[in-house]
Every structure is written in structure tokens, then in C-alpha cells.
Amino acid sequence: MLAATAAAALGAVWLAARRRAKDLSEWAVGGRSFGAVMVFVLFAGENFTTFTLLGAAGWAYDKGVAAVYSSCYAPLACVLSYWYLPKIWRYAKEHRSVSQSDYLRSAYRSKALGVIVTLVGVVAMVPYLALQLKGLAIIAHETSHQRISIEAGTIAGAALIAAYAVLGGLRGAALTSIVKDFVVIVVVLGVGVWLPYRLYGGWGGVTRAVASTHPEHLALWPDRGYGPVWFSTTVLLCALGAHMWPHLFASFFSAKDERNLRRTLATAPFYGIALVTTMVIGFTALVSLPPLGKGNEDLAFLRLAAAELPDPALGFVGATGLLTALIPGSVLATAIAASLARDGYANLRPDASEAGLARAAKWLLPVAVAFAAVFALAGGKTIVGLLLAGYAIVVQVFPAVLSSVLPRSPLTREGVVAGLLLGSALATAAPFVGGDWQHLRAFLPEQLAEVNVGVLALAANVLVAVAVSAWTRARRPPEPAVAEQTEAIRPTTV
């Protein structure tokens, strides 16, 4: 069934997008022609990833209620974005921006900033793309009853995502997301509602079973590294960084008008319901299955499905999981390639046409996917660990984005660059030097030892950006912010 699903997805995306992606704008942002339904489906498609099926359930299985953080930050992110993203959309439409780096390069009139944002975005998105590849490999391994190895699944998944993205671009991913979102809802409700009801009489029965056998899973425990301070700072990190992902900027730029964008942001938090359901699946696996062993938390969903569902139903779950990796993975790969083409290749070939940039992006895309595959094969992090590592990096762009839409920008281009470089360096280095701060518990107050490292890196980013901006502003008059650079930025009503 996995092979049939992959073949059908490739055929569908080719039919959906053929003869349309002749320039970079069409291939990367769908020609800015998507209505409210398409923007909503595409946005949801990038949120219904392998994290939804595997990561959330795995963290609930291993960490307990700490996994609830994933349902808390989306409403906060959408409230913020409802205010500033329409302003960015108007500016991007007027200046034909097709990526996050393209927008910031134009807004701050700095090619160097565009290149740096591209590099930061690529570094942040590689773990996110590796997450999709790792999830796809796990799905192939488990639904084939371990006949497909993790290594083979990762390599085959990388080839599939690369082919899918090159053929369809953003439009193809948006059109096929409709099918994917429907089957995800069927699987999540089927496994997350029906199985707990059949095994324990409902969600209440599952909670009582967890309370009697694993009571530690129903509280936040600072001594395990996932206490209230970690929880609140992680929610803050994800709320500020949720819409800083470069591939989400491409989704927002695809909207036909800002009303469609606002409607999407107003309804997007409802997708948190699916995450709550998958966390119940993790709890059900905790009290129903033998111990999975350390490092196998991401298998909770599929092991429960394999134990309780017949093979045809398990195959359907596997096919759904393949789509949750394929479509978001292709959007990520498309965003990486578009950024590299616009702020990398275009600097080497300033005379390149839009069609030439599109061709360059399609050549760069398989290289980016291959790099993510190597990262997935070499890394030992869980799916949630990969996601949070990416969030810690990508949130460093937030000060630049926020400052760009204020009536009088508090940051200069030099300040933005300095803060972004420092924050990104700290967030990127943290996983390699024990950035969870647990090894410093003997020297730090307990509350500080729990703070998410991405928030600390962001604080350093802001402090340096403000200090450098004050110094450069004293040497020359401030330049206008995005809000003052164009008439298109004036507020409009919904």
C-alpha cells in the first residue's frame, strides 16, 4: 500500500501542477493565487506532519503531560500573526518577494541580511526536513513488519520527496493536501477515539489507567527537566517561532488577498484538537503495550496500531503517515530551494530570469533533501527533539520580522544582523554542548536550568540587536521601516 500511495501521489501532483511552474513565483508561492480554502489546507498540511502521528504520541508516552505544550502555542502564534502577517503579505506582493529572506532583504535593503536569513532558514529547516524523513522511515519500517530497514526507508523517502517537490512545487502540495488532511483526520479519530473507547471505555478510562500505573506522567516534574519553567518557556519559544519557518512564509505569500490570510489564521488553532487526540494515543500505548525501550518513543502510535488493528487498517495508517511526511517535506524542500536560488544563485547570476531561477531551485532541491537525509541517518534525536532544535534556530528571525512592521523600527540593519548571527550561533551550538542545561544544575538556580535554550539565545539576540542599533543610529539617521516604505502597508479591514 505504501508503494501504491507514493505512485498515486506523484501522479496526482504531476497532473495538478503540470505546465504551470514556469517561473520561481509560480513554483515557490503558487503565483499568489490561492483562495481561503487553499491557503487553509496548505497551512494545515504543513502542520499535519509526522509530528502529529508519531512525535506527539511518542512524547506523551515518554514525557507525559509535558507533551501538551504542542497544543498551547498555536493560538498565541495566530493572535500575533493576525496582526503582522497581512502587512508583510502586502509588502511582499508589491515587491514580488517569494521567500522570507527575499522579504527581509528588500525590507532592510540589505543583500547581506538576505543571505544570512537564507542560511539561518536552511539550518533550521534541515532538522525539520530530517524529522519528516525519519518519520517516513519509521512508518515504512513498522507497517512492513520490519521488512523495510530504517536506512532504506530514509533513502527512498528522500528520493520520493525530492521528486514530488520538483514536479509539483507549492501548488501541487496544496492540491494534494486536501486528501492528506482528510485521511489524517480519519486515522487520528479512528485510533485516538475508537481504540481508547474499546480498550478502556473512553479517554477517562485511559487517564485513570495512567494515574494508577504511571502517575508521574500526569504532572510536570522539574527534576526530570520538564517542569513548569521548561513548559512555559517552550510554549513562548514555539509561539514566537511558529510562523517564522521559511516554508510557512511561502504558504502565506500564496494567498490571493489578505482576507484569506486572516481567515486562515483565525481558524488554524482548531487543528490543536488533533494533537490532543494523538497524545491520548500515547497514553493508551503506555498502559497497553510492553515497554518500548529508551529511544523508541516515536514507535508508540504505530506499535499500538499494529497490536490492535488488522493488516488492511494498518496499511491505511501507514499510507496516511507517508502523506504526512511527503507533503510537508516537499513544502520544506521547496522553501529551502527557493531561498537558495533567490539569495544564493541570484547573487552569482544577477542577470538570471525568473525561469532561470526556477530551474536553479529545482536543481538545488535534491541536494538539500540529500543533506537532510544524511542528518536523519546520523542523528539520534527523537522527532520532537528535532523539531525543538529547529524552533530554537528559526525563532531568531523574529526580532527582524517584528521590527520590520513597526511604525518606527527600533532596529537598524546592522543591529538585526548582529543579533541574528549571535542568536543563531548560540541556538545551533546548544545541542552539541548540552544545551538543555541539565549538566549545569549544580551551578545554576533550578528555574534557570529549566529555561528552554532557544529563549536564552533569543534574549541574547535582542540585547545585542538593540545595543548595536543604538550605536549605529547615533552615527546616522534611521531608515524607514517597512510600514513607511510603501502605501500598500496601510491597515485594511477584514
Q: How far apart are CA 389 and CA 382, in angstroms?
A: 11
475, three cell numbers: 552615527
| DSSP result, 371-395 | HHHHHHHH----HHHHHHHHHHHHG
Read off the pLDDT of residues 282-327 as tens digits, 9 standing for 90 and up. Answer: 999 999 988 887 778 888 888 888 888 888 888 888 888 888 788 7
Q: Which residues, at least 6 apart from 338, have a Cβ–Cβ distance to it below 8 Å?
A: 24, 27, 28, 98, 99, 250, 361
Query: Which residues are registered as beta bridge partners of 34?
Result: 255
Contact 88, 103 (CB under 8 A): yes
- Does residue 248 register a pLDDT over 50? yes
Beta-carbon count within 10 A of 401 CB: 22
- What pTM does this model have? 0.80
Q: In this structure, what DSSP letter does residue 221 have?
A: B
Report the SS3 class of residue 255. strand
- Closest-CA residue to 282 (of 85, 63, 122): 63
150, three cell numbers: 530504517
CATH number for the domain whose boundaries are 1-382? 1.20.1730.10
Q: How far apart are CA 88 and CA 68, in angstroms?
A: 31
- Does residue 40 register a pLDDT over 70? no
Report the SS3 class of residue 34. strand
Domain boundaries, the chain: 1-382
The continuous run of DSSP H or E covering 425 comes out as helix 413-429
Q: How far apart are CA 411 and CA 172, in angstroms?
A: 38
Mean pLDDT is lowest, of 5-9, 321-325, 350-354, for: 5-9
Read off the pLDDT of residues 133-166 as tens digits, 9 standing for 90 and up. Answer: 888 888 888 877 788 888 888 898 889 888 888 8
401 vs 447, residue with greater confidence? 401
The residue whose grid cell reads 527582524 is 400
- Does residue 29 register a pLDDT over 70? no
The continuous run of DSSP H or E covering 68 comes out as none
Report the SS3 class of residue 226. strand
Read off the pLDDT of residues 59-106 as tens digits, 9 standing for 90 and up. Answer: 899 888 888 888 888 889 888 888 888 889 888 888 877 778 888 988
Helix then strand count (H, E) for the chain reads 25, 0
Q: What's the pLDDT score for residue 423?
A: 94
When pLDDT is cut at 50, 70 and 90, the band that residue 479 belongs to is low
